[in-house]
């Protein structure tokens, strides 16, 4: 046991050359401490400040990359420059003990309940009925899909400029990336759906866009 504890407290250097001060990661948790508009507030800063010595790598909770991608009340957002000052303050608090910090990039697709409350519209790969959803779903157009992919890229740029070390792409259970992957929620017969390979195209394009933006910033 003492060997494991010792190993966990040792730094680790990733293939990219980035060194994390220990091998403990704080998983993303949606703290719901932002304003109704998604701006980081003191409650968010206090939440992460209290945990700034908890792990060598700390990841924020779901942070909406698009105006129509919000599922949780009072979650952080990053789809506009007005969110940057709050994220800058948050990055400083998380990293004040030498930690590395990531922002989890998120879009909830058809589950964007808060977006529906704010804007009266929710988008997804297809206009499929879900028993737990009581509002209409608008099927994304080709341009709409590419716009969301670009949103992930723009969010990556804001994250790094705010002082974070990188991003994590949220791809779990029933949110937009999984919705494109699922044959139940994705009925498309174009580049974005049909075969298993085509249902993978959305997430692959998101990854490609995020990596492209990150590489551009790192070269500056």
Q: E strands within 50-144?
A: 57-64, 100-106, 123-124, 138-139
At CA 79, angle to CA 178 and CA 206, rounded to 5? 35
The CATH number of residue 16's host domain is 3.20.20.70
Q: Which residue has the tokens 């139940």?
A: 184
Start-to-end CA distance of the chain, whole Å, equals 44
Give the closest residue to 98 by CA, choosing from 173, 19, 30, 40.
Answer: 19
Q: What average pLDDT does the chain have? A: 94
**Of 134, 144, 129, 133, nearest to 190 (Cα)?**
144
57-103 pLDDT per residue, tens:
999 999 999 999 999 999 999 999 999 999 999 999 999 999 999 99
Out of 1-5, 32-36, 102-106, 187-191, which region has the weakest mean confidence (pLDDT)? Answer: 1-5
Q: What is the pTM (predicted TM-score) of this model?
A: 0.94
The encoded tokens of residue 32 equal 């719901």
| CA–CA distance, 196 with 86 (Å, rounded to integer) | 40
Instruction: Locate 119 and state its tokens.
Output: 């804007």
For the stretch 106-156, pLDDT in tens is 999 999 999 999 999 999 999 998 999 999 999 999 999 999 999 999 999
Strand ranges, E, within 108-194: 123-124, 138-139, 166-169
- Can you read off the two tokens belonging to residue 154? 């723009």
Closest by CA to 95, choosing from 32, 30, 18, 36, is 18
- Domain range holding 36? 2-219
Report the domain count for the chain.
1
∠ Cα 145 115 88 (to 5°): 85
């Amino acid at each position: 046991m003492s060997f494991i504890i010792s190993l966990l407290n040792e730094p680790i250097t990733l293939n990219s050359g980035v060194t994390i001060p220990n091998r403990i990661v704080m998983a993303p948790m949606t703290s719901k401490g932002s304003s109704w508009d998604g701006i980081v507030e003191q409650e968010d800063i206090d939440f992460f400040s209290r945990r700034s010595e908890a792990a060598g790598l700390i990841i924020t909770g779901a942070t909406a990359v698009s105006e129509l991608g919000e599922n949780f009340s009072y979650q952080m957002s990053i789809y506009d420059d007005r969110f940057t000052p709050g994220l800058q303050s948050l990055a400083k608090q998380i990293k004040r003990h030498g930690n590395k910090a990531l922002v989890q990039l998120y879009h909830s697709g058809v589950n964007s309940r808060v977006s529906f409350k704010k804007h009266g519209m929710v988008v997804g790969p297809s206009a499929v009925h879900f028993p737990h959803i009581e509002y209409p779903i608008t099927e994304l157009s080709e341009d709409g899909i590419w716009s969301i992919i670009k949103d992930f890229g723009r969010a990556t740029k804001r994250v790094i400029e705010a002082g974070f070390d990188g991003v994590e792409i949220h791809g779990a259970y029933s949110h937009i990336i999984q919705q494109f992957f699922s044959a139940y929620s994705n009925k498309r017969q174009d580049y974005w759906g049909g075969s298993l390979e085509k249902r993978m195209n959305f997430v692959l394009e998101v990854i490609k866009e995020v990596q492209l933006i990150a590489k551009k910033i790192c070269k500056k």
